[in-house]
């Protein structure tokens, strides 16, 4: 069985890596930027469009507010980046917002932040992949017609790439990310050159369209509410900023400084691209509508359901470069690809956070261990599964999915910054160095401003997006919180149950006597080995037990037993219904009932086979019996192996695979080198 699973596994994710190779997977800044910042960098492909979509409710006249909304998003971005630069210096262990909140505000606040981030990471994958499929669909009709299937296929592909390891996936992601960033900057500069110097009239494909305002002539509170909703949609550009603080351990040394530099670089690139696209969209006359089929008008008539509304960045590129030109095609391809890869931010943040939560016993411990490629494989698979479910439910519609977005990230932003304020207060209380106190005061002021600003934005997001789908994200946070709380209680209960509290525990755990039983079906070599092994254990009593499911075979067993003169007494259990497991379990329980302080040791002969199909032919009764005995208190089960000839083939295969280590070996850490090999190596 292992051969069938190992071969495709190696083809998909590569050879296993030893634990001592972990340092080789650490990232330089040039790779860390596309790995951890691809989400906020790529959000410029859909965040400007979301702003215009919301403003379109009041008609084209409301578009003149978009530059001011962009300015507000820029101020917020710089605030968050400055705040998180303090985080990565103060908490470089990779816990990020969760560690900050847990340490300074308590476990409940930490768990709230963790729940919010887990939900937001799942949504990052769903939104980025769905948006990428929509961008690609503007050029390839097949993708639009089957966008849910294509989105799921992309999630699977991205999952496989990440299972290969963070550094290897980072190299794959770096090229398209940098092509996208370069393409957007070229588009902004070329658009500015054509508009300001050459005086060209650049027109987007929808420049001559008009919008049917759903709520025309908005004023007062209604207009303010609309602007706040547009601002909250534009804040999608900030998602993924926190991933760098969670991923500090993945950076090369000096980790904190490299992470802070990457944060600053990411913030500068993201706001420049976001503002540039907003301005070009205004200049080229881009029109967007929440319901394009009915609200977008061409020559006074609705465009109809057959019209495909292309993203803002695609329309701006068509106006600046020309529709169908080489620069347009390159940017369109890079945009679609980088949106797919933007989900990589979550693929690095979610597993790291899951590992930390598992270490704190809030999630299953399997999420804490690294896989064969030194990536947190279980966390990657869990993230992919949750994202696939969301994409399927929402039909890979980014406009619907984005309404669920950014709630979680602003919950974590706010609580994290409040926690950082308390962090600096605590350190200021014990610091007397004037220079250090000045730095702490400056950092506290930055975090305090960040907490205030992000808290206000959180309120805006909740108020403006709650009825549009934000309640689903809140529900997801509650589910994560309750689940993790229950897991922690379970682990705590088990720890209390099995803890050794005093010296008398040794006496309680030690049985008065040991009654050994060897399960027998026939007199053959595996049975004789099990009997001889059981004798070596020097138990207080030893007997062989067989279950009578076939009278003829039972009679032959008794005769062979007597003929060989085996000294161990043989007991035969009746089985009117030809069952093996139940009569044996009942007998073991009867022994335990007669002597509760005694332990029962069961020895089960088993075949060791070399081919997967042989598992289906052997040991099935033994497996069922062991599964039942595990739930019987005071019973110990020992498997006594007998290697069949076919197991030699498995041994040869294992020896051939020794060069790359057995699957899972990295979880056990570096293997100690034998003394002879060490001496030879030194020579």
On whether the CB atoms of residues 170 and 27 are closer than 8 A, the answer is yes
Helix axes 434-465, 66-90, angle to 10 degrees: 130
Residues in CB range of 38: below 8 A, 6 or more apart:
173, 177, 240, 338, 341, 342, 344, 345
Helix axes 326-342, 312-321, angle to 10 degrees: 160
* 573: β partners: 547
d(CA 628, CA 632): 7
pLDDT at 395 over 50: yes
Run of H or E residues at 635: strand 635-643
pTM comes to: 0.66
pLDDT tens digit string along 233-258? 787 777 767 777 766 777 778 888 88
| 3-state SS, residue 518 | strand
* 201: β partners: none
pLDDT band at 482 (very low <50, low <70, confident <90, very high): very high
C-alpha dihedral over 377, 380, 381, 387, to 10 degrees?
180
d(CA 384, CA 407): 20
pLDDT tens digit string along 182-207? 999 999 999 999 988 888 888 888 88
Q: What percent of the chain has pLDDT over 90?
A: 10
Residues in CB range of 638: below 8 A, 6 or more apart:
533, 601, 602, 603, 604
514-519 and 296-298 strand pairing: unpaired
Q: What is the pLDDT, as a whole number, of residue 569?
A: 93
d(CA 439, CA 579): 76
d(CA 534, CA 94): 50
Averaged pLDDT, 108-115? 90
> Can you read off the two tokens belonging to residue 530?
């099990």
Domains in the chain, start-ordered, CATH in brackets? 2-20+39-489 (1.20.1740.10), 505-644 (3.40.50)
> Can you read off the two tokens belonging to residue 179?
């092509």
Averaged pLDDT, 528-538? 89
> Can you read off the two tokens belonging to residue 376?
């947190």
pLDDT at 275 over 80: yes
Which has more confidence, 93 or 15? 93
pLDDT at 508 over 60: no
d(CA 127, CA 402): 6
Residue 389 zone, left/alpha/beta (φ > 0; ψ -120 to 50; rest): alpha
pLDDT, averaged across the chain: 79
C-alpha pair distances (Å), 470 with each of 23, 47, 233 = 40, 17, 12
On whether the CB atoms of residues 626 and 584 are closer than 8 A, the answer is no
pLDDT band at 613 (very low <50, low <70, confident <90, very high): low
CB atoms within 10 A of CB 644: 16
296-298 and 210-211 strand pairing: antiparallel
On whether the CB atoms of residues 295 and 212 are closer than 8 A, the answer is yes
CB atoms within 10 A of CB 554: 18
């Amino acid at each position: 069985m292992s051969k069938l699973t190992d071969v495709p596994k190696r083809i998909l994710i590569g050879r296993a890596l030893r634990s001592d190779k972990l340092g080789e997977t650490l990232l330089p800044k040039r790779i860390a930027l596309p790995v951890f910042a691809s989400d906020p960098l790529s959000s410029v492909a859909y965040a400007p469009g979301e702003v215009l979509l919301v403003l379109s409710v009041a008609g084209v006249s409301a578009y003149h507010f978009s530059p001011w909304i962009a300015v507000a998003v820029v101020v917020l971005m710089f605030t968050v980046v400055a705040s998180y630069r303090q985080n990565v210096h103060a908490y470089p262990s990779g816990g990020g917002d969760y560690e900050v909140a847990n340490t300074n505000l308590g476990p409940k606040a930490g768990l709230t932040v963790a729940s919010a981030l887990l939900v937001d990471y799942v949504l990052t994958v769903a939104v980025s992949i769905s948006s990428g499929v929509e961008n690609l669909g503007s050029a390839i009709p097949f993708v639009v017609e089957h966008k849910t299937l294509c989105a799921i296929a992309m999630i699977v592909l991205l999952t496989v790439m990440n299972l290969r390891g963070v550094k290897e996936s980072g190299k794959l992601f770096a090229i398209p990310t940098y092509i996208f960033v370069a393409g957007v900057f070229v588009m902004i500069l070329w658009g500015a050159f054509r508009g300001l110097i050459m005086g060209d009239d650049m027109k987007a494909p929808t420049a001559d369209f008009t919008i049917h305002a759903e709520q025309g002539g908005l004023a007062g509170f209604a207009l303010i509410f609309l602007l706040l909703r547009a601002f909250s949609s534009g804040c999608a550009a900030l998602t993924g900023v926190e991933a760098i603080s969670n991923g500090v351990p993945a950076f090369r040394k000096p980790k904190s400084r490299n992470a802070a530099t990457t944060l600053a670089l990411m913030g500068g690139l993201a706001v420049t691209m976001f503002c540039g696209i907003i301005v070009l969209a205004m200049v080229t006359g881009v029109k967007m509508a929440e319901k394009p089929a009915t609200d977008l008008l061409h020559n006074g008539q609705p465009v109809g359901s057959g019209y495909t509304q292309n993203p803002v960045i695609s329309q701006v590129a068509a106006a600046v470069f020309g529709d169908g030109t080489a620069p347009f095609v390159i940017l369109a391809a890079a945009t679609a690809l980088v949106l797919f890869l933007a989900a990589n931010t979550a693929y690095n943040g979610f597993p790291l956070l899951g590992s930390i939560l598992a270490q704190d016993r809030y999630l299953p411990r399997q999420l804490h261990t690294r896989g064969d490629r030194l990536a947190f494989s279980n966390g990657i698979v869990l993230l992919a599964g949750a994202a696939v479910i969301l994409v399927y439910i929402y039909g890979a519609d980014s406009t619907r999915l984005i309404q669920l977005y950014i709630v979680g990230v602003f919950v974590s932003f706010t609580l994290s910054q409040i926690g950082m304020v308390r962090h600096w207060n605590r350190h200021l209380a014990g610091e007397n160095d004037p220079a250090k106190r000045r730095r702490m005061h400056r950092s506290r002021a930055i975090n305090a401003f960040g907490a205030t600003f992000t808290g206000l934005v959180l309120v805006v997001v909740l108020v403006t997006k709650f009825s549009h789908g934000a309640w689903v994200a809140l529900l997801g946070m509650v589910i994560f919180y309750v689940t993790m709380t229950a897991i922690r209680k379970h682990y705590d209960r088990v720890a209390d149950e099995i803890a050794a509290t005093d010296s008398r525990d040794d006496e309680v755990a030690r049985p008065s006597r040991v009654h050994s039983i060897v399960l027998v079906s026939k007199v053959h070599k595996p049975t004789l080995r099990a009997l001889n092994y059981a004798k070596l254990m020097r138990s207080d009593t030893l007997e062989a037990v067989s279950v009578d499911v076939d009278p003829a075979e039972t009679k032959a067993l008794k005769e062979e037993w007597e003929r060989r003169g085996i000294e161990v007494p043989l007991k035969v259990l009746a089985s009117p219904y030809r069952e093996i497991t139940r009569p044996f379990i009942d007998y073991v329980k009867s022994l335990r009932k007669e002597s509760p302080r005694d332990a029962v040791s069961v020895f089960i002969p088993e075949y060791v086979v070399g081919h997967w199909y042989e598992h289906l032919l052997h040991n099935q009764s033994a497996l069922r019996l062991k599964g039942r005995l595990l739930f019987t208190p005071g019973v110990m089960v020992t498997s006594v192996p007998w290697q069949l000839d076919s197991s030699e083939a498995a041994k040869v295969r294992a020896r051939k695979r020794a060069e790359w280590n057995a699957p899972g070996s990295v979880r056990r850490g570096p293997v100690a080198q034998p003394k002879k090999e060490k001496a030879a190596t030194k020579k």
